[in-house]
Amino acid sequence: MLSKKTKYGLKALTYLASQKGNTPVQISEIAQHENISQKFLESILLSLRKSGFLGSKKGKGGGYYLIKKPEEVLMTDVMRVLEGPIAMVPCVSLNFYEKCDDCPDEDACSVHTLMLKVRDSTLEVYRNNTLADLVK
Amino acid sequence: MLSKKTKYGLKALTYLASQKGNTPVQISEIAQHENISQKFLESILLSLRKSGFLGSKKGKGGGYYLIKKPEEVLMTDVMRVLEGPIAMVPCVSLNFYEKCDDCPDEDACSVHTLMLKVRDSTLEVYRNNTLADLVK
DNA sequence: CTTTTACCCTATAGATTTAATAGATTAATA
DNA sequence: TATTAATCTATTAAATCTATAGGGTAAAAG
């Protein structure tokens, strides 16, 4: 299941990408427009800023804005920040690899093999989609 | 993340499929061989039986056995029973569809569109893999 | 210096997952 | 029929994760 964090994060990014200029948009405006709990959205936007997707400006006229062009924002990167590993099992994860403690031989593990295929196909989708594709 | 239930279930099915005959295999044997908590596995095998993948035999010489040939057991079906919906969001699920309460228009939702693509690609993997493929 | 807005920290109710425990039931066999 | 080896059933505990609320801080602008 996709977490609400990811869902809200994607919606917020899309909303920002659909904006005309790059002028900051307030949290409250995004929250209202996308039906999101403002407090929750606050923490999501913060993590998107810390990971380099968004910039922010405090005070009057402040808010969040995209740092890169939507075409340059890959879904692989967004998803890893919001949702975490793309793989369904740590032992097939590229960026979050971890050995299974119960499984002696990865290559002989049926789960490993299957989940490798799933990861590859999911990864291909994310690699071929940018934030610009979400706006359409 | 794949739940341990699913992981263990897949391993157990694979173990059964790798057996020579169709003679019942005891829970304890599977648990030991695959490093799984026996009691937990018990409940997993039970649900696999109730959903028509396994048969069981009580008493001495009893255990669990596959009902169909491994080649006939599709991963789509197995995964839906063990893990639940294949889609990451209910609004793109074929078998567990549910409308999002926050989203007024599905077709205009960026999350919906992206997750539809992910679902399709994942589904294709599961459709093209049977239990027989896991044994190899 | 006042207003506005992002930033940061903490707490928590609820759900889900992953078991552990204890016993009941069934069936084969000696 | 007594014994034994299994599956079945129910309860519940522990741990983790999710989604959110509350309250206070810091900085930018006018």
Note the pLDDT of residue A91: 96
Distance CA B103, CA B98 (A): 12
If one compares A21 and A127, the residue with the highest pLDDT of the two is A127
pLDDT digits (tens, 9 = 90+) for A27-70: 999 999 999 999 999 999 999 999 999 999 999 999 999 999 99
Note the pLDDT of residue A104: 86
Residues 50-69 of chain A in contact with strand D via CB under 7 angstroms: 57-62
Residues of A with CB under 8 A from a CB of B: 1-2, 7, 10-11, 14, 34-36, 75, 85, 88-89, 102-103, 109-111, 113-115, 117-118, 121-122, 124-126, 129, 133-135
* Tokens encoding A108: 């002989």
Could you check: is the Cβ of residue A45 within 7 Å of any atom of nucleic acid strand C? Answer: yes
pLDDT digits (tens, 9 = 90+) for A94-108: 999 999 888 889 999
pLDDT digits (tens, 9 = 90+) for A67-92: 999 999 999 999 999 999 999 999 99
Is CATH 3.40.50.720 correct for B4-66? Answer: no
- A12 CA → D23 C1’, Å: 25
Note the pLDDT of residue B22: 86
Note the pLDDT of residue B20: 85
Note the pLDDT of residue B60: 86
pLDDT digits (tens, 9 = 90+) for B21-38: 889 999 999 999 999 999
Q: State the virtual CA torsion across A80, B10, A109, A101 in degrees, nearest 10.
A: 70
Nearest Cβ partner of B75 from A109, A114, A122?
A114
**DSSP-derived secondary structure for B41-79:** HHHHHHHHHHTTSEEEE-STT-EEEESS-GGG-BHHHHH
- Using the predicted structure, report yes or no on whether residue B83 has a pLDDT greater than 90: yes
Note the pLDDT of residue A21: 86
Looking at chain B, which residues constitute the CATH 1.10.10.10 domain(s)? Answer: 4-66
- With CA of A8 and C1' of each nucleotide, the nearest comes out as D19
* Residues comprising chain B, all counted: 136
Note the pLDDT of residue A26: 97
Q: Min CA distance, A61 vs chain B (Å)?
A: 27
Q: Min CA distance, A62 vs chain B (Å)?
A: 25
Taking CB atoms within 8 Å and a gap of at least 24, the contacts of B92-98 are B92/B116, B92/B119, B93/B119, B94/B119, B94/B123
